[in-house]
Structure 1
Amino acid sequence: MSFSLAERNDTIIALATPQGIGAIAVIRLSGAKAIELTNEVFYGKDLSKQDSHTIHFGTIRDEDKIIDEVLVSLFIAPKSFTKENVVEISTHGSSYIVNQVLKLFLKKGARLAKPGEFTQRAFLNGQFDLAQAEAVADLIHADSESSHEAALNQMRGGFSSEIQELREKLIHFASMIELELDFGEEDVEFASRTELKELVERLLRVVEELILSFDLGNVIKNGVPTVIAGKPNAGKSTLLNALLKEEKAIVSDIAGTTRDFIEDEININGVIFRFIDTAGLRETQDTIEAIGVSRTQEKMKTASLILYLFDLGDTDLIEINRDVNKLENLGVPFVKVANKTDKADPELVAKLKKEHPDSLFISAKNQENLEALRAKLIELVNLDKFKTGNTVVTNIRHYDGLIKTRDSLLDILKGLEDQVTNDFVAMDIRRSLHYLGEITGEITTDDLLANIFSKFCIGK
């Protein structure tokens, strides 16, 4: 989805609120003629004589036919989201009214906006950089406190400000080295190699920190994939139901009831956990159940967290130690959860507290000590870095760009160490600037913009 110059000069229109019947609907226009076109169909004050950021009551009419009583909000360029003239028309939420208003404006010369076109115009008009523009979509789709904070921080420039100042200094060095190339036959140095090395090392530290933050950022944005694993009939489905506070999973005394995966999301202290109830881990002759066990083992390898659940009334310490050893070899953080405290063997409990003091003792059926389990999950996610306000990378495109930036910065340092010629140093610097520029939008292509903004909703 790319836009020609003529299309960029169009006045665009779209429904900005969700489709369907509601109390109100908001229709948004942006473009040089947004106020002019609205004035042609609005009966109330003369909008061309009103100040920016004002709201006006009147009616929208198609010639003599009244379509609806409305409120019209004016945002005069450049004091608007797109930096163009913007009008927002609040109508009653009838889909018939919305369609009639849209058809009227299309007849007057407006064009239906494409997905993300309002935000793309804001980017193209310098309202914010590309990373901030992408954060608009993340903010719209944020479904937890942590994802909301991450998107808001990025939208307000948190990500961009981390790299912008250092990038500008790197541009300065690039220009100085390019200047040296013009004096190739003379022994001149406009850019101190020592200062360049220090700057690249500083930039590398920032980039490395942002790269490392992606694991946390991915969790914040997409949720923590958490596998509930253990023997059949250990109470995995009961625990899932207790955490969800609904009967999502089938609970039965028959071992092996769960043959596949049951997934659902739970918001714990502003973090989304994607719990996966799996088939029980055991040797089985049942072909279908064996497939489920095999899939469980694959899920455990790719999980961010594992809840290892065992039955205090039907498990011995040898078996627990064997399972814990297997989990440690996986390298995935896990929580040892001793279930069915009401059926516990006191001797086993005493041994567990001695050998595995980090075990949590719960009763999923009676919903006992589940708060301690929730607290442990939050602890393992480790949001401390995020809570301190540090920038967290949540976008895979940014992560890929940072990886490429890091590699090119390392090439600069290696070139300086090997005392390569200026043209090679300049080439590595330009490559680093290119990847950083792709993240923030100083360097773009129509294909890149089309890929990003086509994922937005129509009215944003």
Structure 2
Amino acid sequence: MQYNDTIVALATPAGAGAIAVIRLSGEGAISIASAIFVSISGKNIASQKTHTVHLGHIKDGTRVVDEVLATIFKNPNSYTGENVVEFSCHGSNYIQQEIIQLCLRKGCRMATAGEFTLRAFLNGKMDLSQAEAVADLIASESEASHQLAIQQMRGGFSNEIKVLREELLNFASLIELELDFSEEDVEFANREEFQKLITRITNVLKRLIDSFATGNVLKNGIPVAIVGEPNVGKSTLLNSLLNEERAIVSDIAGTTRDTIEDEISIGGIGFRFIDTAGIRETSDTIEGLGIKKTFEKIKDSQVVILMFSAIELKGSKSNLQVEIEKIKNKYPQKPLIVVVNKVDQLSEKETSNLLSLIPNTSSLIPVSAKTGKGVEELKNTLLEFVNTGALRNNETIVTNTRHYDSLLKALEEIQKVQVGIDANLSGDLLAIDIRQALYYFGEITGEITNDDLLGNIFANFCIGK
């Protein structure tokens, strides 16, 4: 792929709207724009200052296509580091395509997915981890995922990696220098300082690796499985949490045959609630498959809400203690919230007496999914299970699987260096593992890359970004 030509794409979502933005980038962007744009004031936009906006018409010969605003960004002061022109036109599909086709006929090429951001990376406007954060920012659907993407796009993560890589590179250079004077037995790299650096790098890498578990769920939403016997009100609770009729509610046991999922934001954190089939013994093949999937969803979830019906408990038709222990024993690492539903059908005294008979559990919440009573308390309890301390303190949190993989490999190489130091190995042997660690650091920021890697990353971007 050549990156010295001029590209064009729709930068706003496809479809009709009030306005649309068509973006051109490349050496010929301003000259091509000048060939189709006529300023109302008669100005030649090629001679105008960067970061200026001009009103005029897009013309195809003598035919007026649309009245637009043309925004000029001259290199290197643009998103891509190249000459960039953005036409803000009316949002008709016809107008959008007419302007894009006109640009193509004047010498532009259609941009590929993520090519504007790829050019920004290639022109040094951002490093690779910052470029990847652009896609995360566009995809963010909660305050937490937005904050993580903003932090990474501003270079919080890459700056931390760059500092470590630079310090390690300095020591690597000194060790390489020792190899040139091996016959003279000269030591340029202070081994005590080198040991301190390796210890610090190890600690930072472990912290970043550990943060991935938190970052991944904050970015993608925390899966919460709602489980229990049939007719305890799981679907009603889902509807109450979402504040919409998402799941079918019926008095007929076994109505939910498959899982139903939807996501909401609570306190800026995305939670993905999963309404599951009621757990019971059944001869119905389809219902049985739904129950099997219920246990699969419990396994994949981060938090489990185990529901009981206050009416059933009052009638001693359900063994609450056995069911709680069954879930705890099968999934001991998962936070468990016990919810007693339908308390609206009991008096306050009956509810109090019932709850006093239930075995002590740290997260026991009486609710009425039908009226909404106790739902806010349930939401607050869910937030308590999320470790948002690092997020609030603006600490670096890893959310990208590629970065996580490179960090693991870098840590493995640093640990090999530590083994070498402990064994008092020579500098040439230490240098091998140091070079490999530097390679994995460089992979994260894009200082070391290849066409296949870039292709995989930017293929996930939208056209126009």
Which residue of 1 is the match for residue 328 of structure 2? 328
Cα shift at 1:40: 1.5
Which residue of 1 is the match for residue 24 of structure 2? 29
5 Å-filtered alignment, 1:5-404, equals 7-44=2-39, 45-315=43-313, 316=316, 319-329=319-329, 330=331, 331-344=333-346, 345-346=350-351, 347-352=353-358, 355-356=360-361, 358-404=363-409
Specify whether residues 421 and 357 from structure 1 end up closer, same or farther in structure 2 by C-alpha distance, changes over 3 A only.
closer
* 3-state SS of 1:74 partner: strand
* 3-state SS of 2:148 partner: helix
* 3-state SS of 2:77 partner: coil
1:256-278 deviation digits (Å, cap 9, x = unpaired): 22121111111212221111111
Residue type at the aligned position of 2:451: D
Cα shift at 1:89: 0.8
Q: What is the root-mean-square deviation in Å for CA atoms of aligned residues?
A: 1.5
1:75-107 deviation digits (Å, cap 9, x = unpaired): 111110011111111111111111111111111
Question: 68-77 or 383-392, which moves further after superposition?
Answer: 383-392
Contact 1:115 1:454 in 2 (8 A): yes
- State how many pairs are aligned: 454
Residue type at the aligned position of 1:320: L
Cα shift at 1:221: 1.4
User: In 2, Cα distance between the equivalents of 1:43 and 1:407?
Assistant: 60
Contact 1:180 1:190 in 2 (8 A): yes
Which residue of 2 is the match for residue 455 of structure 1? 460
1:286-344 deviation digits (Å, cap 9, x = unpaired): 33222222221121112111111111221359822222222323121121111111345
Runs of 4+ aligned residues of structure 1 deviating over 4 Å after TM superposition are none
Contact 1:115 1:459 in 2 (8 A): yes
Cα shift at 1:411: 0.8
User: In 1, Cα distance between the equivalents of 2:234 and 2:225?
Assistant: 10
User: In 1, Cα distance between the equivalents of 2:89 and 2:236?
Assistant: 48
Residue type at the aligned position of 1:261: T
Residue type at the aligned position of 2:22: I
Question: 321-330 or 229-238, which moves further after superposition?
Answer: 321-330
* 3-state SS of 1:83 partner: coil
* 3-state SS of 2:373 partner: coil
Cα shift at 1:400: 0.8
TM-score by length of 1: 0.96
Contact 2:417 2:433 in 1 (8 A): yes
1:222-278 deviation digits (Å, cap 9, x = unpaired): 111110011111111111111112222122222222121111111212221111111
Contact 2:113 2:460 in 1 (8 A): yes
User: In 1, Cα distance between the equivalents of 2:423 and 2:156?
Assistant: 36
Gaps of 5+ in 2: none
User: In 2, Cα distance between the equivalents of 1:427 and 1:327?
Assistant: 49
User: In 1, Cα distance between the equivalents of 2:35 and 2:362?
Assistant: 75
Is 1:415 aligned to residue 417 of structure 2?
Answer: no
Which residue of 2 is the match for residue 442 of structure 1? 447
User: In 1, Cα distance between the equivalents of 2:64 and 2:252?
Assistant: 67
Specify whether residues 25 and 318 from structure 1 end up closer, same or farther in structure 2 by C-alpha distance, changes over 3 A only.
closer
Cα shift at 1:72: 0.5
Contact 1:163 1:203 in 2 (8 A): no
User: In 2, Cα distance between the equivalents of 1:90 and 1:194?
Assistant: 60
* 3-state SS of 1:185 partner: helix
* 3-state SS of 1:58 partner: strand
Question: 194-203 or 281-290, which moves further after superposition?
Answer: 281-290
Task: Give the % identical residues.
Answer: 52
Cα shift at 1:119: 0.2
Residue type at the aligned position of 2:211: S
User: In 1, Cα distance between the equivalents of 2:413 and 2:25?
Assistant: 40
Gaps of 5+ in 1: none
Contact 1:163 1:206 in 2 (8 A): no
User: In 2, Cα distance between the equivalents of 1:318 and 1:291?
Assistant: 23
Match of residue 424, structure 1, among 424, 429, 432: 429
Cα shift at 1:425: 0.6
Residue type at the aligned position of 1:446: D
User: In 1, Cα distance between the equivalents of 2:235 and 2:75?
Assistant: 57
Contact 1:210 1:393 in 2 (8 A): yes
User: In 1, Cα distance between the equivalents of 2:369 and 2:250?
Assistant: 14
* 3-state SS of 1:381 partner: coil
Cα shift at 1:357: 5.1
* 3-state SS of 1:300 partner: helix
Cα shift at 1:186: 2.1
